[in-house]
Amino acid sequence: MNHDIDVKKTRINCFRQSKVPGEFMLQLRVPGSLIDAKHLALVQELCQTYGNGTFHIGMRQTLNVPGIKYENIPAVNAKIKEYIQDVNVEMCDCDMEADDQGYPTIGARNVMACIGNSHCIKANANTHELAKKIEKLVFPSHYHIKVAVAGCPNDCAKGNFNDFGVMGVFKMVYDQNRCIGCGACVKACEHHATAVLSLNANGKIDKDTCCCVGCGECVIACPTGGWTRGNTHLYRVTLGGRTGKQFPRMGKLFLNWVTEDVVLGMFANWQKFSAWVMDYKPEYLHGGHLIDRAGYMKFKEMILDGVELNPEAKVADELYWTEAEQRANIHVKPISQHHKAGPQ
């Protein structure tokens, strides 16, 4: 390996080291997983001119160009200036300037999203628009965070295995005058969701509201419009999920039935929370580990600071991990004493 190559610097610049000495893979960010198809021409040009002719769809919905020689990185950075300007600055209004130096950081990872209600009949949210709003709050930053936005609790975006998983939900509205007692919604809820619906003796629907996940399967199944989505777009947020070789874990329910304003208010506090936990010295450490380091109660206090909760909102009193999941904290340094007194 050429020891003159600063691999850490290239990684910050969104280039990933290859097993082939002197070769790297560019990761083009796709905030919210939706871009104008015109950009695919640039990707093809990069792959054929500077890469090895192949193309990789990144596991976080990035557009990846393998096989770039180290000496060609400056030329590639200059080439992607327009893409960064268009996608990260103009579409997401991120607080950055596009120049010939490429991406300023890889810290906030590509915010993932499913196709959402721009296409999917099951989706309760415009995932692309929400993802772009989140991007504006967390990128660019040297503090790492993984976020996925799903249109419904099916969670095709795998939010449960991200630091934050955001899923679109609704409070469903039942009009018994339109209900014909066919039981289609009951069957749909049993098959696809949490089986909280039942047909009563009067041929109408009873609902156990405690366990409804707000997915909308009843709305899709109803042939008469007896079930409709409510007027307010709501979300559920899972917390602390992660993959990895050591102690992977599924996220826990943190917020439920919250509005977009609450979601965005939470993400607006993320960089402040990260900086405090890490003593304002960024490391390549993802959000779930920072939450573990601070503890859930301190995290909740800081991440919801100044956030006005809507009347329907529910917040987890406490989060508990299994013993195996919690053991991951052994490898995470405790926060310093001056942190325990709270932010200055």
Evaluate whether residue 260 is within a structural domain. Answer: yes
Same domain, 147 and 264: yes
Same domain, 223 and 270: no
Which residue range forms the structural domain that includes residue 65? 7-90
Same domain, 215 and 122: no
What residues contact 56, with CB distance under 8 A and at least 6 apart?
A: 25, 64, 65, 66
Residue 6 to residue 15: CA distance in whole angstroms: 11
Residue 85 to residue 77: CA distance in whole angstroms: 12
Q: How many domains in the chain?
A: 3
Residue 90 has which token pair?
A: 């103009």
What's phi and psi for 64, nearest 5 deg?
Answer: -110, 135
The string of pLDDT tens digits covering residues 240-270 is 999 888 788 999 999 999 999 999 999 999 9
Q: What is the CATH number of the domain that holds 62?
A: 3.90.480.20
Same domain, 186 and 162: no
Please tell me the predicted confidence (pLDDT) of residue 5.
Answer: 86
Q: Which residues of the chain have pLDDT under 70?
A: 1-3, 323-344
Evaluate whether residue 101 is within a structural domain. Answer: no
Evaluate whether residue 160 is within a structural domain. Answer: yes
The string of pLDDT tens digits covering residues 5-52 is 888 889 888 999 999 999 999 999 999 999 999 999 999 999 999 999
**Integer angstrom CA distances of residue 108 from 20, 49, 261, 308:** 27, 28, 20, 25
Same domain, 182 and 149: no
What residues contact 10, with CB distance under 8 A and at least 6 apart?
A: 17, 24, 70, 73
**How long a stretch of residues is the chain?**
344
Same domain, 280 and 329: yes
Please tell me the predicted confidence (pLDDT) of residue 321.
Answer: 79
Residue 180 CB coordination number (10 Å)? 12
Same domain, 135 and 239: yes
Evaluate whether residue 106 is within a structural domain. Answer: no
Same domain, 245 and 313: yes
What's phi and psi for 92, nearest 5 deg?
Answer: -105, -10
Same domain, 262 and 301: yes
Q: What is the CATH number of the domain that holds 183?
A: 3.30.70.20
Same domain, 178 and 261: no
